[in-house]
Amino acid sequence: MLDPAPSSAALQPKVYRPRALGAVARVLVGLGTFVAALVAFRAVAAPPGGSVIGGKSEYWRAHGHEYDTVFLGSSHVFRAFVPAEFERAAAQFGLEARAFNFGVQAVHLLEQRHLLRQILADRPGLARVFFEYQWLTPQIDPANAFNPRTVYWHDADTTRLAVARARHWGAELGDGLAYVESAAERHSVFTLAERLLPADLRIAQGHLQHHLTDLAGIGRGKEVLRGLLGRASGQTARYRAQHGYLSLEEDERELAARGETRNSYRARRERFLAEQDAYHAGIDRLDAEAQVFGDGDWVDGSLTRVDDLELMQGLAREVAAAGVELVLVILPSQSANRPFEERLMEELGALVLRYNLPERYPALYDPELRWDSGHLSAEGALYFSRLLARDYCAQRGTARDGAPRHEPAEAQQ
């Protein structure tokens, strides 16, 4: 640095005088190839949503025709529904089914609806869809605002719906619909400007931004490369083996084998084991109170949670129009909204199966059958799958009498 630096050679301007029309034409050519390239990239890209959803979608695209039953939901489903066990139990009750577990970690309701539409589009001959009930969170968690998982489901239709529901709940809740700000941008002038808007409009503009990001395919490079190279996500074998299911115990073993230290599953399990009193108190509340939002379920406390009957009814109509049976399943979670659940059962227009009833299904809340307060263990998943098969068949009139027994894991082998 102590010798003279090379002379400044910043952009050396030169006189450049294209004629106006020619310049406009060249800009249009540039924009045209820009759009054409974006369309081409989108066309060749592998399924979006990152490795978790992309892998499952990829498998479904290739193998969806092998199944007539799908259970779609969050990690609560992913860890709770054992397709092979469901098939075995359903066969005992007179129903032949080929089931797939389409549970994906941390799926939100709108994302789940988007996936449902994809599933129906890829597999029009599906017989039934078990759909985990989830409340709606109209806001987007700012921490995940530009995560591919948040962006990919913002197609035109889902974005329109998200905006409409944000506007609806904005009118309904007023100040109750909090707008969640990005902590990193709390002191930005843009945040100051945004604060002048009502919460529903701010939420709506967030969804629109995501739609534009999705439309342009921003950040989908890995999927484009995978699509171009014809490489699978590497998850196919995993999903084929157990038809989409993977127990937390197996995941834990895989992570341990890889030397993964940041293991959130293990941390949740340890917390669950250490806080048994709180867990049992939560279960007591489920039996005693009409509305409970338990800590054990995945929830970002900053996001508003609403039970949206209109949205659920629209979904039921859509599935019925596709000639598929929708079965809404309320999983054995730590949350309940009894008045709303009863309205669902009466007004949804589809079968609703409830399992968040500790008094009725004590085994599902037995700590022995749970990995943590929100998820079932491998043994609990087997039990739940049999229970679901029995209840579904009973509702459809194919079941014989008798509830499945909870047997030790060794006896089920």
Partner 1 sequence: MIFTEPRFLVFFLLVFGVHWALRTNAARKRWLAGVSLAFYGAWDWRFLGLMLASSAIDYVAALRIEAVRTPRARRGWLVLSLVSNLGILGFFKYYNFFAGSAASFLRWLGLPASDPTLAILLPVGISFYTFQALSYTIDVYRGKLAPVRSALDFVLFIAFFPQLVAGPIVRATEFLPQLEAKRVFARVDVRAALTLFLIGFVKKGLVSDHVAPVIEPVFAEPGAYTAASTWIALFLYHVQIYCDFSGYSDMAIATAGLLGYTLPKNFDFPFFARNISAFWQRWHISLSTWFRDYFYFALGGSKGSSLKGMLIGSLTMMVVGLWHGAGWQYLGFGVLMSGSIIVSRTWALVVPEGSLLRRAVAFLGIPLMWWFLFWNWILFRSAGWESAWEMQRIFFFLQDGGTKGLEASWLLLVAGFFAVHYAFYRGWFRRLASVNDWFFAAATGAAAAACLVFVATETKAFIYFQF
- Residue 12 is a binding residue for partner 1 (CB under 8 A): yes
Quick one: CA dihedral 97, 132, 124, 317, positive or negative?
positive
Complex with partner 1: residue 259 or 402, whichever CB lies closer: 259
**Using the rule CB under 8 A, which residue among 35, 43, 229, 274 binds partner 1?**
35
**Using the rule CB under 8 A, which residue among 84, 127, 178, 216 binds partner 1?**
216
For residue 341, the minimal CB distance to partner 1 (Å) is: 37
Burial classification of residue 133, based on how many CB atoms lie within 10 Å of its CB (0-12 exposed, 13-18 middle, 19 or more buried): buried
Q: Which stretch binds partner 1 (CB under 8 A): 33-41, 107-115, 309-317, 357-365?
A: 33-41
Complex with partner 1: residue 185 or 254, whichever CB lies closer: 185
Burial classification of residue 374, based on how many CB atoms lie within 10 Å of its CB (0-12 exposed, 13-18 middle, 19 or more buried): buried
Q: Which stretch binds partner 1 (CB under 8 A): 84-92, 122-130, 156-164, 210-218?
A: 210-218
Token pair 């910043």: residue: 10
For residue 405, what are the contacts with CB-CB under 8 A and spacing of at least 6? none
Q: Residue 7's CB: how many other CB atoms inside 10 A? A: 5
- Residue 14 is a binding residue for partner 1 (CB under 8 A): yes
Between CA 356 and CA 338 the distance in angstroms is 10
**Interface positions, 133-162, toward partner 1 (CB under 8 A):** 146-148, 151
- Residue 363 is a binding residue for partner 1 (CB under 8 A): no
For residue 225, what are the contacts with CB-CB under 8 A and spacing of at least 6? 231
Q: Could you tell me if 19 and 70 are in contact, meaning their C-beta atoms sit under 8 angstroms apart?
A: no
- Residue 259 is a binding residue for partner 1 (CB under 8 A): yes
Binding letters toward partner 1, positions 161-200, x by CB under 8 A? ------------------------x-xxxx-x--------
Complex with partner 1: residue 220 or 354, whichever CB lies closer: 220
**Using the rule CB under 8 A, which residue among 106, 171, 197, 218 binds partner 1?**
218
- Residue 1 is a binding residue for partner 1 (CB under 8 A): yes
In single-letter form, the type of residue at position 362 comes to: P
Complex with partner 1: residue 218 or 281, whichever CB lies closer: 218
For residue 41, the minimal CB distance to partner 1 (Å) is: 5
For residue 82, the minimal CB distance to partner 1 (Å) is: 33
Complex with partner 1: residue 196 or 411, whichever CB lies closer: 196
- Residue 19 is a binding residue for partner 1 (CB under 8 A): no
Between CA 163 and CA 312 the distance in angstroms is 16
Burial classification of residue 405, based on how many CB atoms lie within 10 Å of its CB (0-12 exposed, 13-18 middle, 19 or more buried): exposed
For residue 148, what are the contacts with CB-CB under 8 A and spacing of at least 6? 48, 49, 50, 219, 220
Between CA 329 and CA 77 the distance in angstroms is 10
Site of interaction with partner 1 (CB under 8 A): 1-6, 8-18, 22, 26-27, 29-38, 41, 146-148, 151, 185, 187-190, 192, 212-213, 216-221, 224, 259
